[in-house]
Amino acid sequence: MMPLPETFDDTVRLDLHMHSTASDGALSPTELMQLCHARGLTHVALTDHDTIAGVAEAATEAERLGLRLLCASELSAQWRGVTIHVVALLPDGAQGALIEGLDAQARAREARSEEIARRLEAIGLDEALARAREQAGSDRPLGRPDFARALVAAGVVPDMASAFKKHLGAGKRGDVKAHWPWLSEIVGWIRDAGGVAVLAHPLRYGMTRRKRGLLLDDFVEAGGEAAELVSGFQNPDTTRDLSRQLQERGMFGSLGSDFHAPGGALAPGSMSDIPRTALLPVWRHPRLARFAQ
């Protein structure tokens, strides 16, 4: 296998942000690895929400296919009243404080599901928890997409987009964030595990450039070292500007599709081109040297 290039360039066949059935993705870890391989990717990370439960299965299939896989997770946190996602890249797996941290995230997700269910029952979706569980189709921790599907199935809203827009999106009744730990705590767990903390999709929090700068400052102060320069599809001018914000803080840049399910606009490895930049790619981070080979 070709080692990854020293800079961001067109030869990168990598995706460091994808979901499987271990959280809200549609493909099993095995199926996801097969799709990554079929699409010509060489280096990938499985980043299920608040869990690494799918990584062992993915690793078996990745090894068989000759794909390089990084243990990872997308952790939910809160910062100044906003839910923030942090991708933990974990070359040594879950270690130290992160082990208990992942347990705590699973419990937080459970308590949060009960609260979301109570709130949706108040708007007329009876047995909301059981309905969301049925949509999930397994005993994995529930997320808002499961409740969104339950709202659609019960005919309360016509589609997923309306479910988020009316009931589950930021600031709506079903957006329960009180259960997530502070951003600094999450970053601490990742560092304690010998991992690299990557701020996920910094352009998708609806923040002004200035507020995003404050978030990046706090993230770096907590020990965060990278952010996703490109997440799926985005405007090239915005990417250039974000690149500057990251370089100013000595951060590394990561890349990912945030793939959840086939059929949409995204597939593993599909994301906007990277404009020429001096930003260092996250695979140049010393702790990821083994992965980058």
Residues at the site binding ligand AMP, with contacts judged by CB under 6 A: 24, 49, 76, 143-145, 160-161, 164, 169, 260
Nearest distance in Å: CB 143, ligand AMP: 3
- Site mask, Mn ion, residues 59-78, x = CB under 5 A? ---------------x----
Tell me which of 37, 43, 85, 119 binds Mn ion, using CB under 5 A. Answer: 85
Q: Name the binder of 140 from Mn ion, ligand AMP, none, CB < 5-8 A by kind.
A: none
Please give the full DSSP string across the chain, using - where no structure is assigned: -PPPPSS--TT--EE--B--TTTT-SS-HHHHHHHHHHTT--EEEE--BT--TTHHHHHHHHHHHT-EEEEEEEEEEEETTEEEEEEEE-TT-S-THHHHHHHHHHHHHHHHHHHHHHHHHHTT-TTHHHHHHHHH-SSSPP-HHHHHHHHHHTTSSSSHHHHIIIIISTTSTT---TTSPBHHHHHHHHHHTT-EEEE--GGGS---HHHHHHHHHHHHHHT--EEEEEESS--HHHHHHHHHHHHHTT-EEEEE--B--TTSS--TT--PPPPP--PPBGGGSGGGHHHH-
Identify which of residues 136 and 229 has a Cβ nearer to ligand AMP in the complex.
136
Identify which of residues 87 and 292 has a Cβ nearer to ligand AMP in the complex.
87
Tell me which of 258, 271, 281, 285 binds Mn ion, using CB under 5 A. Answer: 258
Q: Name the binder of 57 from ligand AMP, Mn ion, none, CB < 5-8 A by kind.
A: none
Identify which of residues 177 and 247 has a Cβ nearer to Mn ion in the complex.
177
Determine if 24 is a binding residue for Mn ion (CB under 5 A): yes
- Give residues in contact with Mn ion (CB under 5 A): 24, 74, 85, 200, 258
